[in-house]
Amino acid sequence: MARRFWHQGYATEAVKGVLQYAFDQTHRESVIVIIEPEHTASVRVTEKVGFRDYTIREFHARAVRVYRMTCDDWALHNKLS
């Protein structure tokens, strides 16, 4: 995302839209997110929308965080929000 659009909530809203589509329209069982830990803004957005637990894995020879959200997790997060 272009720097001039940072800190305006667009990334969070985009992620919410993707998750809503994935779970409500295409009926996916789960969604995963892969983030390099030093991308703190991406980590913040990911956790803000309801991803919680992650594992550290190697992906393309880099350490990454792998988050997973199930449809039930999504429903619970939105019920609490």
Query: What is the structure's pLDDT at 81?
Result: 61
Residue 55 is assigned to a structural domain of this protein: yes
> Is 46 exposed, middle or buried (CB count within 10 Å of its CB: 0-12, 13-18, 19+)?
buried
Residue 47 is assigned to a structural domain of this protein: yes
Q: What is the pLDDT of residues 11-56, one digit of tens each?
A: 999 999 999 999 999 999 999 999 999 999 999 999 999 999 999 9
Residue 21 is assigned to a structural domain of this protein: no
Residue 71 is assigned to a structural domain of this protein: yes
Residue 20 is assigned to a structural domain of this protein: no
What is the extent of the structural domain holding 65? Answer: 29-79
Residue 4 is assigned to a structural domain of this protein: no
pTM equals 0.86
User: Could you give the number of structural domains in the chain?
Assistant: 1
Residue 34 is assigned to a structural domain of this protein: yes
Residue 42 is assigned to a structural domain of this protein: yes
- Cβ pair 7, 45 in contact under 8 A: no
